[in-house]
Structure 1
Amino acid sequence: MIERTRIADLAALPDGPVTVGGWVETVRDQKKVQFVVLRDETGAVQLVNPAVRAVDDDADDSARAALTTTETISGLAHGTFLVAQGTLKHDERVKLGGIEVKIDRLDVVTAALPETPIADDSSLDKRLDWRFLDLRNRKQNLVFRIQTTLEHAFRTYWVERDFIEIHTPKLMASASESRAELFELPYFDTTAYLAQSPQNFKQMAQPAGFGAVFEIADAFRADPSFTSRHATEFTSVDAEMSWVESHEDVMAMHEELLVAGITAVQAKYGVEISEVFGFELQVPTAPFPRIPLAEARRIVAEGGYDIPRADGDLDPEGERRISAYAKEQFGSDFVFVTDYDATIRPYYHMRHEDDPTLTKSYDLIYNGTEISTGAQREHRVDVLTQQAVEKGLDPAELEWYLDFFRYGVPPHGGFGMGLARVLMLMLGQSSIREVTYLFRGPTRLLP
């Protein structure tokens, strides 16, 4: 490993010799002194160099080295990667962290081209074309540190409750959700499909006796949408657990998980989020409000909006309105919309005993956008088969899935949640493209 001090660790050190490395962010080349703002993966620091513009013919080696350093700094391009040795000094007058490093030696490791292809005001598409440069800025760096903390908190919550982490196949022989959104590809002498969801496989863990499982992994949807919240490849956060009495048990676990995740983010990055994103991240309080879909339709209609969807499901505007209602009435950024019509839910969602037109399911809406769907699953194979037939499906094509329920399976339920949507809404961003490391959509396969 190259020996250096991370910039974030400099403030805790006493004055003295240090080695730092990173990318050149700005250069101020004044007549008598030069300043370089250097950024590594943890922060930025100011480097200082007394400028030597010329030396006599009989100058010693140290004077010539000082001239070389001055000339090198004058020619630095934004993004050049360098390593600097120097003397750390604490000085409260320095605006950037109250510290600076006086340069003793500077080595350019890789020089950047002088013309940077993107700027702060470049379009999102342009920035995505040059994503590796876009990711250098502090804001983007923070996004993925937050993502790491959020995922770690999720895993910690589950592991402490004896959930088992699984890794399900992403190559499938048939659809897990809708055939209309499948990517298909040649697979030896047959056809395979990229997994839309781990749904079938996480349910398989229930008759396998795992009790409760989770997975954070890629999923794929051949959806030609260009909205701010859709992608063709995304990270899905999934959980499934046995011994549920209803979808209420799933919702209770789901809200606890999110409270744990956002609490961890706030504790580690709350101050920096305020500095970079300009707002204070609020940790939600459980339980989140629950509103049945029929009541949500009524509330939205009474607010003057007619949901245009023929099936009666909430559209994006309906989600925004019911979210605003939950914020106003309950002070919550989250709201569960529950008890969806059986006509707009998959065949494997369990239906209410006293009203089989409704399912024991929910959507979770966060700051105006749906982030998750969850439900209690139907575990009785005869009922499951009948519901599949009602949906126009051929049970013969579902035999491998229906077998899960023929050898003893406990009542179970779970959810799937889009990680990028959670991050987008948590950080007040306008698109999941901003919080996805490398976005994939209908027209983007590069970089």
Structure 2
Amino acid sequence: MSTRVLVQQLQSLPDGPVTVSGWVETVRDQKKVQFVILRDETGAVQLVNPATRPPAEPVDPSTGSRTAEPQDAAADPAERAKRDEALALTDTISTLTTGTFLTVTGQLKHDERVKLGGVEIKVASLDVAAAALPETPIAADSAMDKRMDWRFLDLRQRRNNLIFRVQTTLEHAMRTWWIERDYIEIHSPKLMSSASESNAELFALEYFGEQTAYLAQSPQFFKQMAQSAGFGKIFEIGDVYRADPSFTSRHATEFTSVDAEISWIDSHEDVARMQEELLSFAIGAVAAKHGAEIEELFGVAVSAPTVPFPRIPLAEARDIVAARGYDIPRTDGDLDPEGERQISAHVKETYGHEFVFITDYPHEIRAFYHMRDDETGLTKSYDLLYNGVEITTGAQREHRVDILMEQAKQKGLDPEHLQFYFDFFRYGVPPHGGFGMGLARVLMLMLGESSIREVTYLFRGPTRLAP
């Protein structure tokens, strides 16, 4: 068997025999020639086959009826066999269905007239690995829920394939940035004996019939444990679970969280500075590798954001939003989604920036483990907005166990359920902080998509557990 060549490699190969594999995207079965667009995971190529049709049966012109069987023009057995092979190939191509997976061997030819990559393959042989049913259940314009039902077909589109190439580059770049700076990667458990942030939004499950376990809402506690363990700087990219019955475009019940935690900080500003440098590097890597294709398929120009990102205290942000004519309806003092869009629009107009840190949140609307400023009482924390949507909460953590326990009580948490967590702080821990960031939100906003469903491999929400 010939070695399979990827479509993206064809342009660099000389004319000659090649073997490619992929799925059928379109078939044009003309009288004299057949064209097939074959796509693999790297691109699409045009296959061409000069059609060989069965000879017409002779007809008596006086009666209009068939006469004797036609004589085979190729009396030589070898010629007949060759013609039979050509007839069979033509017939096979005529019956190909969209989505059929196959392998083709043929002659590669460079031809600048071919719009699809400037190359085509003249088919010599074709082997069907798995035929597809003739009627596909979805189309490019099908409703989102329908496409999610048939996600494996939906993902065959070049545009959707690119999303996960971008995701791969983004994650690799973030890992590269961290590893080059001597961060340690951890994989924290996703089964927990108690809540990781609050008693809300928890998925509970029976654990061997004797106790209740919970799916982790966040690696928060274990990120902080790594600081007590003396790891210094850590990161994790992993799944988290939120029993949140939200049906918005930016919520999911299972999603990938990008987390980092660092020791020996002076304030949340150290965390923010680390995150903006990380994102500038990672988005720059995406732009360098995929920028042209993203612009072609998504109509978005991606570039590395400049650092530092703008910073605006929450109280000032609320005033700016009010001055723009929007009255935030929330009573807790936080920004609502429209408020986030308004302050981001202000930043775009004023600073030409897609990112903004909103800082200095009241402790009433922050997690119990956020450190509070001794003078203002505000938390040493931030939210990071990207193109009008929150993607991150970051903070300096409270590492003094007596204050931490008191803040947990103020939030209505039972200290008995958090004893294992408080133990992390009883045997020495450096000042530390970190952030958690939703990977799908970053992809959604980078590519200008309207929902995280579009950029999640298999979305999970309140009404979706399959496929």
Query: What TM-score do you get using the length of structure 1 for normalisation?
Result: 0.98
Report the residue type matching 1:65 in the other structure: E
The match for 1:373 is 393
2:12 counterpart letter in structure 1 = A
Number of the residue aligned with 1:20: 20
Partner of 2:459: 439
Q: Secondary structure at the match of 1:438?
A: coil
SS in 2 for 1:405: coil
| Corresponding letter in the other structure for 1:351 | R
Equivalent-residue separation in structure 1 for 2:185 and 2:46 (angstroms): 44
Q: Which amino acid aligns with 2:329?
A: P
Task: Look up the match of 1:273.
Answer: 294
Match of 1:251 in 2: 272
Q: Does 1:5 align with 2:5?
A: yes
Secondary structure of 2:424 counterpart: helix
Paired amino acid for 1:6: L
Match for residue 50 of structure 1? 50
Q: Matched residues in 2 for 1:163 and 1:200: separation? A: 18
Give the stretch that moved more between structures: 389-398 or 233-242. 389-398
Structure 2 residue 340 is matched with structure 1 residue 319: yes
Q: State whether residues 344 and 356 of structure 2, in contact with CA within 8 Å, keep that contact through their aligned partners in structure 1.
A: yes
Instruction: Give the 3 Å change call, closer, same or farther, for CA 440–226 of structure 1 in structure 2.
Output: same
Residue of structure 1 in register with 2:405 after alignment: 385
SS at match of 2:227: coil
Cα pair 2:2 2:19 within 8 Å, conserved: no
Structure 1 residue corresponding to 2:318, chosen from 291, 294, 297: 297
**Contact 2:198-2:413 within 8 A present in 1 as well:** no
1:230 partner amino acid: H
Residue type of the partner of 1:136? Answer: R
Structure 1 residue matching 2:200: 3-state secondary structure: helix
Task: Name which of 124, 130, 133 aligns with 2:153.
Answer: 133
The CA deviation string for residues 268-319 of structure 1, in whole angstroms up to 9 with x for no partner, is 1111111111222122101000000000111111111111111011110000
2:2 and 2:201 map into 1 onto residues whose CA distance is 47
| Aligned counterparts of 1:277 and 1:77: Cα–Cα separation in 2 | 28
Could you say which residue in structure 2 is the equivalent of 1:109?
129
Q: 1:89 & 1:392 partners in 2: Cα distance?
A: 72
- Normalization by structure 2: what TM-score? 0.94
Moved over 3 A (4+): 55-59
Q: Structure 1: how far apart are the matches of 2:101 and 2:415?
A: 60
Please state if 1:209 is matched with 2:230.
Answer: yes
How far is 1:396 from its partner?
A: 2.6
Q: Deviations over 1:337-375 (max 9, x none)?
A: 00101110011100112111x100000000010001000
- Give the one of 308, 320, 335 matched to 2:329: 308
Q: Is 1:263–2:279 an aligned residue pair?
A: no
User: Does residue 419 of structure 2 align to residue 394 of structure 1?
Assistant: no
Distance in 2, matches of 1:433 and 1:229, equals 8
Q: How does 1:5-154 map to 2 (within 5 A)?
A: 5-55=5-55, 57=72, 58=75, 60-154=80-174
How far does residue 395 in structure 1 lie from its aligned partner after superposition?
A: 2.2
Q: Which residue of 1 aligns with 2:59?
A: none
Which residue does 1:338 correspond to in 2? 359
Distance 2:18 2:336 in 1: 56
Following TM superposition, by how much is the alpha carbon of 1:2 offset from its aligned partner in structure 2, in angstroms? 7.6
2:413 and 2:454 map into 1 onto residues whose CA distance is 38
Instruction: Please say if residues 2 and 18 of structure 2, whose CA atoms lie closer than 8 Å, have aligned partners that are also in contact.
Output: no
Distance 2:424 2:108 in 1: 64
**Long gaps (5+) in structure 1:** none
What per-residue deviation string (whole Å, max 9, x for no partner) do you get for residues 417-436 of structure 1? 00000000000001000000
Give the deviation of 1:109 after TM superposition. Answer: 1.3
**Cα distance in 2 between the residues matched to 1:50 and 1:268:** 38
* Structure 2: gaps spanning 5 or more residues: 56-70
Q: Deviation per CA, 1:31-85, whole angstroms, max 9, x where unpaired?
A: 1111000000000000000011115634521111111111111111100111111
The whole-number CA distance in structure 2 between the counterparts of 1:438 and 1:431 is 13
User: 2:405 matched to 1:361?
Assistant: no
**In 1, are the aligned partners of 2:256 and 2:438 still within 8 Å (CA)?**
yes
C-alpha separation between the residues in 2 aligned to 1:152 and 1:392?
40
State the distance in 2 between where 1:440 and 1:291 align.
34
Q: Which residue number in structure 2 is paired with residue 351 of structure 1?
A: 372
Contact 2:382/2:395 (CA < 8 Å) preserved in 1? Answer: yes
Do the aligned residues in 1 keep the contact of 2:264 with 2:431 (CA within 8 Å)?
A: yes
1:178-217 superposed matches below 5 A: 178-188=198-208, 189-217=210-238
* CA shift for structure 1 position 385: 1.6
Identity within the alignment, %: 72
Q: Is 2:176 the counterpart of 1:170?
A: no
